[in-house]
Amino acid sequence: MVVSTHSKPPPPPTAVLADTDPRVLRRAHFFMRLSRAWDSRFEAMARVGRIGRWYSAVGNECTTVGTALALGANDSLSTVHRDLGAVLTTYLDPTRLAPALFEDGDQTAWDVLRPPPQALLDTLANQVFGRRGGFTRGVDRSFHYGLIKPEWGIRHVGMISHLGAMIPVAAGLALANVQDGTDRAVLGFIGEGATSQGDFHEALNLAGVMKLPLILVVENNRYAFSTPLSEQYACEKLSDRAPGYGIAGETVDGLDFDAVHAAMNRAIERARTGYGATLLECMLPRMRGHAEGDGSYEMIPAAEREEYLKQDPLVRFEASLLARGHADQQRVERVTATARDIIEDAVERALLTEEPSLAEATRPVFAPGEVATAFARQSTEVTGG
């Protein structure tokens, strides 16, 4: 681990190992399975052409869930296109969604603040299908929205297509926390390809200078569309860049739940106690192509693909649960089946919902006020309609 040289020394890394807390493991298992079930369903629909495009997060679950699980109410989350696991983990109270899988004492204080999980899951499914009931009611695609509801403890800012552009926004969320004098932190995600963007540099430099409570997780799945690491950057590890910004940096095996979760807990402790930002690189297997069926998967050498498919983080996580006696085979199957049923229901319901009203296309671009009023006064005839 590399830490800023011109700052106070960091607090000693606390050994927060997941296997000390079975509640964390139950939650992690459920959300990883929920994320995988969602991907399986959407991949299947993409294969038969029922949806146009799907960016699978298969292989990212341990990283997205393992980091997001460390957040508390009103920490902020900034996601890109393979972070469904983090979104589900942040939004949903699993004890109300799948009561049979959880025990007394599993429901947290934050869970109590969260809204009914089924409704939120339905909104998410509608969002992904571009339907009326989605967060954007049809005007933007899958994970391109935000949900800021302090009363639910949720502060989530989704992506725009321009990769890298959300990193400064995540820094700005962290800046607001500093201005408010809270100990709240921000978890942001980015693919390794987008670390080549200027916004990555500008945001991490700002985070270093201002000691912002930002944790930027790089999901390094070794490819960006078709571009391999060797054509993306020339440093050995992306976390090597951290000392250049005066922030902490770490590279962990993104398939190792204990390592991911412990690194995230160290980062969040630094963020909460004024030691600033962390660049946390998680190494992932590229188990799928860029988007389903776009030909990019075939660009990966076949032997390498075989290797990645063997590294499934869910298989590994479940093996460790079994080995350490946290679950038996029956429970593993029950969690898998429950997750599949929950997703199946949500997708079926979403497929029956209505298209958005056409009026959504011309809804206001300005929030209510004198600017919005002036905009509404402008003639619409000039567009020929």
Partner 1 sequence: MAETTYIDAIRRALGEEMDRDASVFLMGQDIAAFGGPFRASRGLFEKHGRLRVINTPLMESGAVGAALGAALVGKRPVLEMQFADFVSCGFNQIVNNVAKTYYRWETPVPMVIRLPFGGGSGAGPFHSQSPEAWFAHTPGLCVVAPSTPRDALGMLKAAIRDPNPVIFLEHRFLYRREKEELPAGDLLTPLGRANIVREGTDVTILSWSWTLHESLAAAAELAREGVSVEVIDLRTLTPLDEDTIFTSVRKTSKVLIVHEATVTAGFGAELAARIADQCFEWLDGPVRRVAYADRPSPYNKKLEQSLLPGRERITAALRKLARY
Ligand X SMILES: Cc1ncc(C[n+]2csc(CCOP(=O)(O)OP(=O)(O)O)c2C)c(N)n1
- Note the residues at the interface with ligand X (CB under 6 A): 82, 161-164, 191-194, 219, 221, 223-225, 290
Could you tell me how far CA 172 lies from the centroid of its own chain? Answer: 18
- How many whole angstroms separate alpha carbon 127 and alpha carbon 139? 9
Of the pair 282, 335, the CB lying nearest ligand X is at 282
Site string for partner 1, 177-216 (x = CB under 8 A): -xx------------------xx-xxx-xx--xx------
Q: Which of 139, 229, 309, 322 binds partner 1 (CB under 8 A)?
A: 139
Of the pair 193, 313, the CB lying nearest ligand X is at 193
Residues of the shown chain interacting with Mg ion in the complex, contacts defined by CB under 5 A: 191-193, 221, 224
Residue 148's binding partner, choosing from partner 1, Mg ion, ligand X, none, with beta-carbon cut-off 5 to 8 A by kind? partner 1
- How many whole angstroms separate alpha carbon 92 and alpha carbon 345? 16
Segment 147 to 166, residues that bind partner 1, using CB under 8 A? 147-148, 155, 157-158, 160-162, 165-166
Segment 88 to 127, residues that bind partner 1, using CB under 8 A? none
Angle at 29 between CA 342 and CA 77, to 5 degrees: 85
Of the pair 171, 216, the CB lying nearest partner 1 is at 171
Give the three-class secondary structure for 376.
helix
Structure-block tokens of residue 347: 């997708």
Residue 289's binding partner, choosing from ligand X, Mg ion, partner 1, none, with beta-carbon cut-off 5 to 8 A by kind? none
Q: What is the nearest approach in angstroms of partner 1 to the Cβ of residue 340?
A: 29
- Which amino acid, one-letter code, is at 98? A
User: Which range of residues in 18-26, 106-114, 229-237, 362-370 is near partner 1 by CB under 8 A?
Assistant: 362-370
Q: Which of 85, 94, 168, 246 binds partner 1 (CB under 8 A)?
A: 168
User: Which residues lie across from 280 on neighbouring strands?
Assistant: 217, 250
Which of 84, 38, 89 minimizes the C-alpha distance to 68?
89
Q: What is the nearest approach in angstroms of Mg ion to the Cβ of residue 124?
A: 23
The H-assigned helical ranges of the chain are: 22-47, 61-68, 84-91, 94-97, 109-113, 117-128, 166-180, 198-210, 242-245, 257-272, 302-309, 313-323, 329-351, 370-377
Q: What is the nearest approach in angstroms of ligand X to the Cβ of residue 218?
A: 9
Give me the helix-helix angle, 313-323 and 257-272, nearest 10°: 100
- How many whole angstroms separate alpha carbon 307 and alpha carbon 318? 19
Angle at 317 between CA 316 and CA 323, to 5 degrees: 90
Is 351 near partner 1 (CB under 8 A)? no
Given the rule CB under 8 A, which residues bind partner 1? 76, 135-136, 139-140, 144-148, 155, 157-158, 160-162, 165-176, 178-179, 198-199, 201-203, 205-206, 209-210, 363-375, 377-379, 381-382
